[in-house]
Amino acid sequence: MLGCCAYLLPHIIFGKGLHIMGTKTVRVSIDLLADFHEELQVLAEASGKTMKNYVVEALETHMQKDNELEDGILGELAEEASREGFIGVEESKKLVELIRNA
């Protein structure tokens, strides 16, 4: 599931400012506590990655988990709406079309 995170791939491979398949990458700068920065360096080296690749992959993983959580919450809301008698988007569109054509 690459989803919303697909834009990170060119960043991992090609770096700042290059055009890859119509996508332009940008540089992001953040301030970190020195201890946290050192920990990132150690973890990146231990996994055989550059710090940049390690951080981008960590962000991508975190974003994927957030998206999965959001999908679950929205799914639960949709089920609740269905139990309460509400209809979904596609059913709503069909109903509107039936009313228009009546």
Distances, alpha carbon 84 to alpha carbons 63, 70, 88, 94, in Å: 31, 21, 12, 19
Per-residue pLDDT tens over the stretch 11-57? 444 444 444 566 788 888 999 999 999 999 999 999 999 999 999 99
Greater model confidence, 68 or 4: 68
Greater model confidence, 44 or 71: 44
Q: Which two tokens stand for residue 95?
A: 């109903």
Greater model confidence, 93 or 31: 31
Torsion angle (degrees, nearest 10) of CA 44, 48, 53, 57:
-80
| pLDDT of the residue at 12 | 46
Taking 50 as the threshold, does the pLDDT of residue 2 lie above it? no
Burial class (CB in 10 A: 0-12, 13-18, 19+), 69: exposed
| Per-domain residue ranges of the chain | 3-96
What would the mean pLDDT of 62-90 be, rounded to a whole number? Answer: 79
Q: Cβ contacts of residue 5 below 8 Å, gap of 6+?
A: 60, 63, 64
Taking 70 as the threshold, does the pLDDT of residue 73 lie above it? yes
